[in-house]
């Protein structure tokens, strides 16, 4: 929703142009994720990817590292003169 998009957009200025964002998350069981109308819930992997893409991050990837852990990476676009 809007809250996730705003948080992701707020991260963008924290990175220099061309900089990378890495997020390590431990996946929860499907029944522990919460509902869409709850004030706090875990995002699904497609929601993470879509939220970062909408926030103007590029090269958004999702990689499983362990059985229940995932690493998301996203890059801030390089400056136009690079």
From residue 30, give the alpha-carbon distance in Å to each of 41, 42, 63: 11, 10, 19
With 0.85 as the threshold, say if the pTM is over it.
Answer: no
Q: Are 43 and 56 in contact (CB under 8 A)?
A: no
Q: Give the position of tokens 């390089």.
A: 78
Tens-digit pLDDT profile for residues 46-65: 888 888 888 889 999 888 77
Beta bridge partners of 57: 76
pLDDT at position 9: 80
């Amino acid at each position: 929703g809007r809250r996730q998009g705003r948080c992701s957009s707020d991260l963008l200025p924290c990175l220099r142009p061309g900089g990378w964002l890495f997020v390590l998350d431990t996946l929860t069981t499907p029944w522990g994720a919460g509902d869409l109308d709850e004030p706090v819930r875990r995002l699904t992997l497609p929601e993470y990817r879509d939220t970062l893409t909408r926030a103007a991050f590029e090269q958004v990837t999702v990689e499983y590292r362990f059985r229940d852990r995932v690493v998301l990476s996203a890059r801030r676009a390089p400056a136009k003169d690079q």
